[in-house]
Amino acid sequence: MYAVILSGGKQYRVQQGDTLKLESLTGDIGSSINFDQVMMVGEGSDVKIGKPYLSGCTVKADVVSHGRHKKIHIIKFRRRKHHEKWQGHRQNYTEVKITEINA
């Protein structure tokens, strides 16, 4: 069984046992999180689609870790002007493991 959930403004297709790196969520390591914004649940040819969300469907996940992604480098320069600007950014994430899908 799989589900499509909404978290951090993005949609994720998840199955039981998957690990995801989502946008930073509140919660201690080892605690559980319930996602109630489930957009679709399916198994084989049996698919339920919400408008926009399914009522009564939840996806349960455990928080595995918190961390930061690899650094992204941003370079801005103007040619022939001796001007160069470097920036870097590291996005925070929360790694979760999907434990249960309640349809």
Instruction: Provide Rg for the chain, Cα atoms.
Output: 19
pLDDT of residue 54: 95
pTM score = 0.85
pLDDT of residue 103: 85
Domain borders along the chain are 2-102
Each residue's pLDDT tens digit, 39-74: 999 998 999 999 999 999 999 999 999 999 999 999
- Which residues, listed in sequence order, are joined to residue 102 by a DSSP beta bridge? 58
Region of 39 on the Ramachandran plot (φ > 0 left; ψ -120 to 50 alpha; else beta): alpha
